[in-house]
Amino acid sequence: MKKVAFIGLGHMGSPMAQNLIKAGYSLQVYDLVPEAVQSLEQAGALACESALDAAEGAELVITMLPASEHSKSVYLGQADQPGLLAQLTSRPLLIDCSTIAPDVSREIAANAAELGFAMLDAPVSGGTAGAIAGTLTFIVGGEASDLEQALPVLQAMGKNILHAGAAGAGQAAKVCNNMLLAIHMIGTCEALQLGANLGLDPTVLSDIMLKSSGRNWSLELYNPQPGVMENVPASRDYQGGFAVNLMNKDLGLSQEAAQQSHSSTPLGALAKALYQMQAKQGKGSLDFSSIMQLFVTQPTV
Ligand code: NAD
């Protein structure tokens, strides 16, 4: 499978597509934002005028879109506009890497199967740094035989390719993971600010917690306190990375899933409320580690 269509060239899609070009794949790309397409064209991709234009003739189609409604509109279409499934004359393997609702993912996969397409849901973990380095974790739902076909392409963008189960299972696992990510990011911010208010240096406290039982991914790879770690969003005014708005979306998905499955997720609900507060303060496009700003206070006594 050498001819790949890549649709959605944002913070994640752009570096993922670049890694496929570096690995020797022939890329046909599309995004609603012309500048995003142009920058991939400069890297060697074929710029296309529409999602259909990119997907037609490709052996494999990858989408990396913001949310459920975008995946639905690209694959299933909107009221007056048919989607890829209805329009494609060929039958490429479809891989949706966007993080979307598990039930929407299953709905798209069922429609795809009816029309003779093989489809995987393959949301990712590892952030923009993982997308650039080609070290993403892919959490895959769908048939094992389809995953086997997609493996070389996914391996060009990631280092862990995990099969979660049938269609939609990748999204279900991703929703659980991101709820936990939000919770430990918030916990890390709280602990770092408590330490600062107790007179501790945040770098010293981070090193101590990394060697103690508070160790977690946010602390280890994504420290939310500006200046503690280089090359993370906290040290560039929380620019780039994984937007508060996207974390809010994922926490909405986890709460919806919790309601549907009668699960109790009180910390997930609280995390959603805190991320909503951050978004309401006009910080929706900042990286999700900017939730630190909710805790930055000076001690009053
Ligand atoms: P983004 O908003 O930066 O990029 C999404 C891109 O999709 C944009 O360039 C947008 O123009 C394009 N797009 C939207 N609708 C389109 C359409 N109909 N046709 C073509 N292009 C369209 O988002 P991102 O940060 O790259 O995240 C993408 C997905 O990956 C999201 O579902 C997110 O939850 C998930 N994710 C993000 C991160 C991260 O760190 N940013 C990490 C893991 C997973």
The domains found in the chain, sorted by start residue, are 3-166 (3.40.50.720), 172-294 (1.10.1040.10)
Asked if 182 and 222 touch (Cβ cutoff 8 Å), the reply is no
Ligand 1 pocket, mutate which of 29, 64, 74, 84 (most atoms under 8 A from CB):
64
174 catalytic residue (yes or no): yes
CB 20 within 8 A of CB 97: no
Q: What distance in angstroms lies between residue 129's CA and the mean position of ligand 1's atoms?
A: 15
Per-residue pLDDT averaged across 60-89, rounded? 96
The tens digit of pLDDT for each residue in 130-139 reads: 999 999 999 9
Residue 13 CB less than 6 A away from ligand 1: yes
Please say if the pLDDT value at position 300 is more than 90: no
Closest Cα partner for 105 from 135, 84, 76?
Answer: 76
6 phi and psi, to 5 degrees? -125, 120
Pairwise CA distance, residues 220 & 255, whole Å: 27
Cα-to-centroid distance, 123 and ligand 1 (Å):
11
- Burial, 25: exposed, middle or buried (Cβ in 10 Å; 0-12, 13-18, 19+)? buried
Residue among 31, 139, 218, 232 whose CB has most ligand 1 atoms within 8 A, to mutate: 31
What's the pLDDT tens digit per position in 179-219?
A: 999 999 999 999 999 999 999 999 999 999 999 999 999 99
Residue 95 β-bridge partners: 62, 120
Question: Cα–Cα distance between 183 and 63 in angstroms, integer?
Answer: 28
* Banded pLDDT at 301 (limits 50, 70, 90): low
Q: What is the mean pLDDT of residues 222-236?
A: 96
Mean pLDDT of all residues belonging to the chain: 96
- Catalytic option among 2, 22, 174, 211: 174
- The verdict on the CB of residue 7 being under 6 Å from ligand 1 is yes
Q: List, for residues 249-296, the tens digit of each pLDDT value.
A: 999 999 999 999 999 999 999 999 999 999 999 999 999 999 999 999
Q: How far apart are CA 26 and CA 165, in angstroms?
A: 29
Report the candidate in 189, 181, 156, 148 with the shortest Cα–Cα distance to residue 248. Answer: 181
How far apart CA 18 and CA 180 sit, in angstroms, is 29
* Average of per-residue pLDDT across 76-95: 95
Helix (H), strand (E) at residue 274: helix 266-278
Q: Is the CB of 105 under 6 A from ligand 1?
A: no
Whether 241 lines ligand 1, by a CB cut-off of 6 Å, is yes
Residues whose CB is less than 8 angstroms from the CB of residue 140 and which lie 6 or more positions away in sequence, other chains included: 120, 121, 122, 147, 150, 154, 161, 162, 163, 164, 170
pLDDT band with cut points at 50, 70 and 90 for residue 80? confident
- Nearest CA-CA partner of 256 in 242, 267, 268: 268
Per-residue model confidence (pLDDT) at position 79: 84
How many angstroms does the Cα of residue 193 sit away from the middle of ligand 1?
31
Q: Assign residue 214 a region: left if phi > 0, alpha if psi is -120 to 50, beta otherwise?
A: alpha
Asked if the model's pLDDT at residue 1 lies above 80, the reply is no
Helix (H) or strand (E) holding 125: strand 124-125
